[in-house]
Structure 1
Amino acid sequence: MMSFIDSVKSVLMNNFANFKGRASRSEYWWFTLFEILAYFITGIVDGFLFGWGYYDPTWITWILQLAIFLPGLAVAIRRIHDHGKSGWWILMPFYNLYLMIAEGEAVPNSHGPVPTNVLA
């Protein structure tokens, strides 16, 4: 299983916009947790700097969203590839939620070898 730190490094440094290959469940879910924590912390910083009332996202939130959108999409598509499916399945929200949770194929498929959970 890939650790939290290894997952974040893998997605942000090695596979930032890599839509080819496969991602393990641990890589995907650890990075999803990182995204949630980043948004939470950004919300707190926004609250301290700009007030706690209802507001439109500030420039801090926009920068984070722009920085995390592409790698988040890439790791989700690579997670779908782990099932031997096309990345276009990302457009089917409930089905791809199942694919994110279910174990991938245990053998190499057309998208690459089985993820090893080792940071290269």
Structure 2
Amino acid sequence: MEMFKKVVFENYANFDGRARRREYWMFVLGYYVLIFVLAFVSAIVPIVGPLVLAVGVLGVIVPSIAVSVRRMHDVGKSGWYCLIPYYNLYLYCIDGEKGANQYGPDPKNQFEDINEIGNDKI
């Protein structure tokens, strides 16, 4: 749930950078839980429920596109690869590129590259 909140509230429309597999799949899990809960409320309260469901789905469209694009960046592909059916699912599942790529530093690597340690650039 923490990843879902991070993507939705902190990186709402951030299309730059990279997203790890864990960040992407935790967002997807949170998204489906949210939709399931809103659909359940929609079934119980037939007057206001569908409106709540529609607002919930529309409110998460931009973050879902943003995390998908960042996930494509992590595997070294353009965000447009999100539009290719089945191939994008494969790309969502594979490990990201090791080290920095053209889209940013490796999100798994919390530390500097071992070769850069001691090379202070002032």
TM-score, normalised by the number of residues in structure 2? 0.83
2:81 matched residue in structure 1: 89
Question: Do 2:20 and 2:74's aligned partners in 1 also have CA atoms closer than 8 Å?
Answer: yes
Q: Pick one of 25, 46, 64 that aligns with 2:21.
A: 25
User: Structure 2: any 5+ residue segments left out of the alignment?
Assistant: 111-122
Deviation at 1:116, TM superposition (A): 3.8
- String of CA shifts for 1:28-54, please: whole Å, max 9, x gaps: 000000000000000110011018xxx
Identify if the C-alpha distance between structure 1 residues 20 and 100 changes in structure 2 by more than 3 Å, giving closer, same or farther.
Answer: same
Tell which structure's C-alpha radius of gyration is larger: 2
Cα distance in 2 for partners of 1:89, 1:106 equals 19
Task: Choose from 85, 100, 103 the match for 2:95.
Answer: 103
Greater relative contact order (CA < 8 Å, ≥ 6 in sequence): 1
RMSD: 1.8
Q: Work out whether 1:66 is the aligned partner of 2:58.
A: yes
Whether the aligned pair in 2 keeps the contact of 1:105 and 1:114 (CA below 8 Å) is yes
> How far has the Cα of 1:117 moved from its partner?
8.8
Structure 2 contact 4–31 (Cα < 8 Å) conserved: no
Query: Is the CA contact (8 Å cut-off) linking 2:21 and 2:71 kept in structure 1?
Result: yes
Asked if structure 2 preserves the Cα contact closer than 8 Å seen for 1:80 and 1:90, the reply is yes
What is the CA–CA distance in structure 1 between the aligned matches of 2:31 and 2:4, rounded to whole Å?
A: 9
